[in-house]
Amino acid sequence: MSSSNNVGFSSFFSNDTADDEDRNAADNNELRSSLKKRGKGSYTCPQGLGCTKGGVAADGSLAVFQRNSEFRTHLQKHEKAFKCNLPGCPTKKGFARIDQLRRHQETTRHKA
């Protein structure tokens, strides 16, 4: 069954403080968990035209994600939920995917 959900919550997002980033990640997580595992829809990035992670098409319009999985993957780029826990890690922001974290841990020098 196909649903048409045009999702965009640009008013939720401003990157002024760490508190805003935490709130944005929580909003993204809630939005992502509300998606069905499989399916189609019509989704846009909650950051709107301010998205710098693929949510804006080359012509300057909002990119529309047609599949739940594509939209979920896009939201993970904003969340960066995978944090490095090795002592002396120079990377503070985290990673969108677990494979990126593993690669980082294997290739980046961590100060002890």
Tell me the C-alpha distance between 98 and 84, whole Å: 10
Q: Are the C-beta atoms of 80 and 93 separated by less than 8 Å?
A: yes
pTM to 2 decimals? 0.60
Helix/strand/coil for 16: coil
* Domain boundaries of the chain, sorted by first residue: 1-79, 80-112
* pLDDT value at residue 85: 93
pLDDT at residue 22 in the model: 59
Confidence (pLDDT) at 111: 84
pLDDT per position in the chain (112 positions), as tens?
A: 434 444 443 333 333 444 555 566 667 767 776 776 678 888 999 999 999 999 999 999 999 999 988 998 898 888 888 999 999 998 888 999 999 999 999 999 888 7
Provide the angle, in degrees to the nearest 10, between the axes of the packed helices 68-79 and 18-34.
160
